[in-house]
Amino acid sequence: MCAEAVTGTLYLDDVKVGDVFRSREHALDAAQIIAFASSFDPQRFHLSDEAARDSLFKGLAASGWHTASITMRLLVESLPLADGVIGAGVELSWPRPTRPGDILRAESTVTEIRPSRSKPDQAIATLETLTMNQNGEVLQRMVSKNVLFRRRG
Amino acid sequence: MCAEAVTGTLYLDDVKVGDVFRSREHALDAAQIIAFASSFDPQRFHLSDEAARDSLFKGLAASGWHTASITMRLLVESLPLADGVIGAGVELSWPRPTRPGDILRAESTVTEIRPSRSKPDQAIATLETLTMNQNGEVLQRMVSKNVLFRRRG
């Protein structure tokens, strides 16, 4: 995966609590899992199915940071904010391992919009983003605070 | 960066509240920032210094997920747990942008160890991991819950 910059047209004015944004799918395989882990999380259960068998994961599993990074790709494509998806802080959990063969998608719900007191053109929007596989099983739950801007001019 | 599996020798028995683990340094440049963003976070302020100038970042900045992923690499190398660094959940914030030329290091402090009631061989350890640049400025703060295992046999 390698692409031109993602750009969008949505402003704070266009988003409301309850809005849901659904991504495309991303098919994950063992080669991607091992390549990411080799660079960023070189632990045996992320590098080799055989070496992973006697770990907590009982088989090859993606690094949680790989699941998070793929989710970000799916999120920026599916939530086309004009000024970008800019996170101020996030909470992440991984209820079950991400496996080779999983087909990932992200579903993001706007749960709160809090206008900034000091910056009238900005708000903080809270998003809950669930990353699911082809069976609808939740692999990652992310709650993020994002900076949104009003339409200008 | 690409490496053999990181393995360690530390068990739950060897770790106590207040322990600090310091990583090596990682030198970041624009090429790494753009490569990561092209795959996982293709927004203009992560892809081009020129395109980033009129964004909130005022210049090229690494994706927060890139900072998080580099931090994981530094963490697994500096906290050599025998059964691996396995996160159950994390909180992340990015107090300032990560820039080309930054030299990153991670410093992790054990802030709590909570034995499992149902699994006597396990505990959940809370770590605070600060990712800093060469000026000691904090780029990322992470609080993670990690599964630790007692020495066996």
- ipTM here: 0.95
The confidence score (pLDDT) of residue A4 equals 75
Who among A5, A56, A65 is closest to B72 (CB)? A65
CB contact under 8 A, A2 and B92: no
B55 contacts in chain A (CB < 8 Å): 83-84
pLDDT at B3: 59
Residue B130: pLDDT band by 50, 70, 90 thresholds? Answer: very high
What band does B30 get if pLDDT is binned at 50, 70 and 90? very high
Indicate if the pLDDT at residue A3 is higher than 70: no
**B86 within some domain:** yes
Provide the mean pLDDT of chain A: 95
pLDDT tens digits for B132-144? 999 999 999 999 9
Q: pLDDT digits over A89-143, tens only? A: 999 999 999 999 999 999 999 999 999 999 999 999 999 999 999 999 999 999 9
State pLDDT tens for residues B56-98: 999 999 999 999 999 999 999 999 999 999 998 999 999 999 9
The whole-chain average pLDDT of chain B stands at 95
What mean pLDDT do residues B7-12 have?
A: 89
The two three-digit tokens of residue B36, written as one number? 């990561």
Of the candidates A83, A61, A138, A62, the one whose C-alpha atom is nearest the C-alpha of residue A105 is A138
Residue by residue, DSSP assigns A28-49 as --HHHHHHHHHHH---HHHH-H
Q: What percent of chain B has pLDDT over 70?
A: 97
Which residue range is the domain that position B141 belongs to? 12-149
Q: Which residues of B touch A3 (CB under 8 A)?
A: 38, 42
- Say if residues A66 and A43 touch (Cβ distance below 8 Å): no
Task: Identify the pLDDT of residue B151.
Answer: 92
pLDDT band at B4 (very low <50, low <70, confident <90, very high): confident
How far from chain centre, in Å, is Cα A45? 22
For residue A2, pLDDT over 60 is answered with no
Distance of alpha carbon B72 from alpha carbon B3, whole angstroms: 14
Q: Tokens 């047209």 label which residue?
A: A9
Q: Which pLDDT value is given to residue A28?
A: 98
Among B120, B105, B48, B117, smallest CA distance to B73 is for B105
Q: Which residues neighbour A119 within 8 Å (Cβ) at sequence distance 6 or greater?
A: none
Q: Is residue B17 part of a domain?
A: yes
* Placement of tokens 């849901």 in the chain: A20
Instruction: Read off the amino acid at residue B102.
Output: D
Contacts of A76 in chain B (CB under 8 A): 41-43
CA–CA gap between residue B32 and residue B40 (Å, rounded):
12
- In a domain, residue A31? The reply is yes
The pTM (predicted TM-score) of the whole model is 0.96
pLDDT at A85: 94
Contact A61, A32 (CB under 8 A): no
Instruction: Tell whether A60 is covered by a domain.
Output: yes
pLDDT at B7: 77
DSSP H or E run through B115: strand B103-115
User: B39, B45, B77: best mutation site toward chain A, by most A Cβ within 10 Å?
Assistant: B39
> What CATH number does the domain containing A75 carry?
3.10.129.10
In chain A, the number of structural domains is: 1
Q: Per the CB < 8 Å rule, is B2 touching A84?
A: no
Instruction: At B125, give phi and psi (nearest 5°).
Output: -105, 130
* A33 domain-assigned: yes
- Per the CB < 8 Å rule, is A41 touching B3? no
Contact B104, B122 (CB under 8 A): no
Could you say which residues from 84 to 113 on chain A have a Cβ atom under 8 Å away from some Cβ of chain B? Answer: 84-94
Residue B4 lies in a domain: no
Let me know if residue A22 belongs to a domain. Answer: yes
Instruction: Indicate whether B88 belongs to any domain.
Output: yes
For residue B87, list chain A residues with Cβ-Cβ distance below 8 A.
64, 94
* Cα B81 to Cα A131: distance, rounded to the nearest angstrom: 28
For residue A1, pLDDT over 60 is answered with no
The β-bridge partners of B10 are B81
Question: In this model, does residue A15 exceed pLDDT 60?
Answer: yes
Q: What share of chain A has pLDDT > 90, as a percent?
A: 92
Q: Is B6 on the interface with A (CB under 8 A)?
A: yes
Q: What is the pLDDT of residue B34?
A: 98
Element (H, E) at B54: none
